[in-house]
Structure 1
Amino acid sequence: MLFTHEMIASFNELELAVYNYISHNREKVAYMRIRELADATHVSTATILRFCRKIDCEGFSEFKVKLKMSLDKPTKTIIKSPQHSITEFFERTLTGDLEERMNEAADLISEAENVLFAGMGSSGILAEYGARYFSSIGKFSMYVKDPHYPIHAKFRNNSVAIILSVSGETPFTITQVHQLKQDGSYIISITNNKLSTIAKLSDVNLAYYVTEEWFQFANITTQVPVVYILEAVARKISI
């Protein structure tokens, strides 16, 4: 991804004008000279160079190379069949130590007074589903969408946070994990691999290992394994 959320948030008014122009004229900008882009956006070349440094490019030439590379990425995606994704999950994950780790997670949750769920995007939808499912099975749980949402001290006491993230690198979710750990919560994460930042920050990580799939700019990686893990852990608690 050429522009991250953090990069865009750091832009001043002039740099934001450059960003907006590039967003609407990517193919054209890839072949512009720095002076041409400066004239088109009504800023100085110094502003363009400062903009390039903020997006981790040493200069305008490196920026154009990265821009051209992003344009060269294929737009058509071959989407795997649901059967392929599920088979991949069973072959890669259920033959490992997932069952043992789910037992560890279930033990932590059983002992906790409070259970909090967190996630963004499709992971957020499943986090909300998880909170409802756990509550239905007898373990009252809450879904926390806002990473800055104030959580009362009585809910932080002896609590477990169940964090959902496909990549394990979602900035807002990482912020939530740091905050919850500082408040004393145990962290159980469900991610697509065990080497991500969120997985490493967790007390227990439940990784499901399926190939990530993208359609244009949307992550469409199957979430069926996540539903399986959530329901399996909840049922272990109810036994």
Structure 2
Amino acid sequence: MFTGDVIASFNELETSLYNYISKNSEKVVYMRIRDLADETHVSTSTILRFCRKLKCEGFSEFKVKLKMYLDENEEVNIKSSQYVMSEFVERTKNGHFEAALLDAASLIVQSDNLIFIGSGSSGILAEYGARYFSSLGKFSMYVKDPYIPIHANYLQNSTTIALSVSGENRFTVSHLNELKQKGSNIISITNNKHCTIANMADINISYYVTEEWYKKSNITTQIPVVYILEETARKMQKLTEQSE
């Protein structure tokens, strides 16, 4: 609600008003303009100028927008990791889930190159996945820079593992399209199978946990992704041993 540009435009009195509102937001939404003026020792005209800088017609509209802002940022009840794990473990008992892991492992065994892509927290896990698979004998690389150039001569007989909670990250979709066009096999790991990245993949592994948000940040657990990566890598290693 209070952007950096707007705050920078405040004069001394408006800055004092801003500081008071920031510390007493819950109280301000129920105050009259005269009450706020008395509390902050500024005129009602100063308050109205302050409201106009926030693109509000008057104090009443400002209070409505402030209440909406407070509601959006209200504390949420974050689930414990124990609950999330039990929710996921129930889904792993599905035979289709295990079959998808085995199919992914088989495809990786047949590939010469393994590439991980992702953005944000999925980018961090892409790096982890590349390290874990490399530790089990399959040299892997990861891409989390959305602007890195991709050259076809490194993609012969390759498999790309795309990580995304929503399955709609535009940078990952763009990279995946380029990799797919250049002949790389695609394995996607997403929260559900009804998304763009899952539809682009040869094999999709979906983990279906409840998405969680905290102050506009996606805090959906990544524990299932770590399990999928490690379990697939272990299956790959066993299949490799059996084929030798």
TM exceeds 0.5?
A: yes
* Structure 1 residues 43-93: Cα deviation after superposition (integer angstroms, max 9, x where no partner): xxxxxxxxxxxxxxxxxxxxxx99986764352110111110000001134
CA distance in 2 between counterparts of 1:180 and 1:68 reads 46
Which residue in the other structure is 1:6 paired with?
A: none
Q: Is residue 2:136 matched to residue 1:140?
A: no
Q: Name which of structure 1's ranges 219-228 and 128-137 shifts more when overlaid on structure 2.
A: 219-228
SS at match of 1:127: helix
Residue identity (%): 57
Which residue in the other structure is 2:193 paired with?
A: 194
User: 1:146 Cα deviation (Å)?
Assistant: 1.9
Unaligned runs of 5+ in 2: 10-17, 19-24, 26-48, 55-63, 239-244
User: Against the structure 1 CA distance between its residues 66 and 200, is the aligned structure 2 distance closer, same or farther, given a 3 Å change threshold?
Assistant: farther
Which residue in the other structure is 2:162 paired with?
A: 163
User: Against the structure 1 CA distance between its residues 179 and 40, is the aligned structure 2 distance closer, same or farther, given a 3 Å change threshold?
Assistant: same
Q: Is residue 2:211 matched to residue 1:212?
A: yes
CA contact (8 A) 2:72 2:215 kept: no
User: 1:195 Cα deviation (Å)?
Assistant: 0.5
CA distance in 2 between counterparts of 1:200 and 1:234 reads 23
Q: Which amino acid aligns with 1:233?
A: T
SS at match of 1:167: coil
Give the number of the structure whose alpha-carbon radius of gyration is greater: 2
CA contact (8 A) 1:93 1:209 kept: no
Which residue in the other structure is 1:15 paired with?
A: none
CA distance in 1 between counterparts of 2:180 and 2:67 reads 41
Which residue in the other structure is 1:45 paired with?
A: none
CA distance in 2 between counterparts of 1:94 and 1:235 reads 18
TM-score normalised to structure 2 length: 0.69
| CA RMSD in angstroms, aligned pairs only | 3.3
Which residue in the other structure is 1:57 paired with?
A: none
User: 1:96 Cα deviation (Å)?
Assistant: 4.6
CA distance in 1 between counterparts of 2:69 and 2:185 reads 39
CA contact (8 A) 1:114 1:156 kept: yes
